[in-house]
Amino acid sequence: MSFVVYNNHRIAKGSFSTVYRGLCAETDEDVAIKVFEASVEGNVLFQNEAALLETMPQHSNLVRFAGVGQFDDRQFIALEFFPHPTLAEYLHRRGPLPDEEALSIVEQLLETISFLASHGIAHRDIKPANILIDPRTRRIKVIDFGLSSPLPHGMRTRSCSYVGTPHYMAPQVLARNSRISYATIAADCWSVGVVLWELLLGAHPFLSAQSREQMQSIVLSTFDFSCFSSLSQRLLASLLQVDEGKRSDPTAAIAMLAERKKPLENCSTEAMRAIKMSRADSRRFTHSRKRSISH
């Protein structure tokens, strides 16, 4: 495959790469061209991401891999062009999301993590900036696999810096005093819990001026879930477990979310009452939160 890079049409810029709009010459399809910096770090991230994407099966919530190439002596990865904002941008424009919308987004995210786990991969940098969303359909696409790693291995870094984004790192990752950050699905699930909190409240649960203080606050996390609806409370409590052995895996979390879709006629009287109360609670929570925001 050969690609044309539109270097005057920049889509996004990260620490070690810049994404441009481009074209696949063979198919005449638009693509996103992720051009990596010509540095040791840029080359490591390119090699890691390209190796994973080349062998990764397709999934509706992952951007499709199109190929690799070089642009101005820099390596690039060509990906499916998904012309929509990141979840971080979407949240900035919209503010806190209604329960059902936030839970639907998180459900897609959990299904994606489950799919990756089934193919032996941990993403290791789940955050709103690495998720694209179609504002009309609410369909998401997870991006940026530069820090991803096969399970259960780790990626050795060149310094003592952490692998990933501290705001979204699980306590066991932050607590490791080594140059190896191990890949686990439990760590990805913690990140999903942080994302859910942010979607529902429009603010991050860990606010601190200093990164070291912030990391410590995450490791010693205690949470008050009382401002959330009952289903969101249970899901957050299961994902934001400091003890990774007690943290929900993607399958358990998805099963919890499936409760909101159960037909009431198939439930026992007691279960029906609980589901109705949960749904009513969710509606009241969304209404009261919107009212408080508008004031």
Assess contact for 113 and 188: CB atoms under 8 A.
Answer: yes
CA distance 115 to 137: 21
Q: Is the dihedral of CA 212, 124, 20, 112 positive or negative?
A: negative
CA distance 142 to 60: 10
Between the CA of residue 280 and those of 259, 276, 286, what are the distances in Å? 14, 6, 10
Between the CA of residue 264 and those of 22, 75, 271, 281, what are the distances in Å? 49, 54, 9, 16
Assess contact for 122 and 189: CB atoms under 8 A.
Answer: no
CA distance 263 to 220: 40
- Specify whether 125 is catalytic: yes
99, 125, 144, 188: the catalytic one is 125
Catalogue the E-assigned strands of the chain: 3-13, 17-24, 29-36, 65-71, 74-80, 121-122, 131-133, 140-142, 149-150, 154-156, 180-182
User: What amino acid is encoded at 94 in this protein?
Assistant: R
For the chain, helix (H) and strand (E) counts, in that order, are 9, 11
Residue showing tokens 């080359």: 43
Residue showing tokens 């439990």: 186
Which positions are catalytic? Answer: 125
